[in-house]
A = this chain, B = another copy of it.
Amino acid sequence: MTEPLPLLPAQAEPPSGQVDLTLTQTEEQPRLRADAARNRTRLLEVAAELAAERGIGNVSMEAVATAAKVGKGTVFRRFGDRAGLMLALLDHHEQQLQAAFLMGPPPLGPDAPAAERLRAFGPAVLRHERAHRDLYVAAHADLARHYLSPANHLRLGHLALLLRQLKAPGDIELIAHTLLGYLSTLLADHLLTERGMSMERLEAGWYDLVERLGAAA
């Protein structure tokens, strides 16, 4: 909780081979050694596989290590901790979403007016998170890290950009956080599952929110 944080080289997101991380700006990756890179991809593949067949909640770190024919220590060295592995797994999916709203077609992509992009952002995220619910929940088990994750940072920046283009009044950064909070996996899941709300209702709520918080004074 307030530890000195031993070593943990802080290298949780080094890309490997075909994996392209240019989207989520990784502050700098120290370049993995060849064997280490190989192991990393194998670990991710195996983890995804196990998650698919028995549910991510029933995949222990040790199981991943064993299935990838690697020592447990290796897994932890690479990903730091369980949440780190989840985050890495998630990263792949996240990139699809990011591509959609950074370079995709309207109304999400850059060829639509800002107001429309902002509107479209909500449902896109809601649906995306719903599709990968388990993983998001598991990954954000450590909530503190969540706010620091590149993915979250990117979303935040995107929203702030759109809001600025719209000349939205007020504290843009805080408003962006508020909007993102509305899209939180756990909140959406709670409202849909526990409270029995419909996706349409959540989307309508988003449109309303965007209208009131994004409109120029």
Q: Which residues of A contact B (CB under 8 A)?
A: 1-2, 55-58, 134, 137-138, 140-141, 143-144, 146-148, 170-171, 173-175, 177-178, 181-182, 184, 186-187, 189-191, 194-195, 201-202, 204-205, 208-209, 212-213
Contacts and interface: CB of A to CB of B under 8 A. Distances in A.
Q: A181, A191, A201: which has the most chain B beta carbons within 10 Å?
A: A181
User: Which DSSP category, helix, strand, loop or mixed, fits chain A's interface?
Assistant: helix
A170 B201 CA distance: 11
Contacts of A173: 195
Contact of A174 (B57, B58, B138, B205): B205
Kindly report how many copies of this chain are found in the complex they form together. Answer: 2
Contacts of A209: 174-175, 178, 213
A113 to B, nearest CB: 21
Nearest to A208: B170
A182 B178 contact: yes
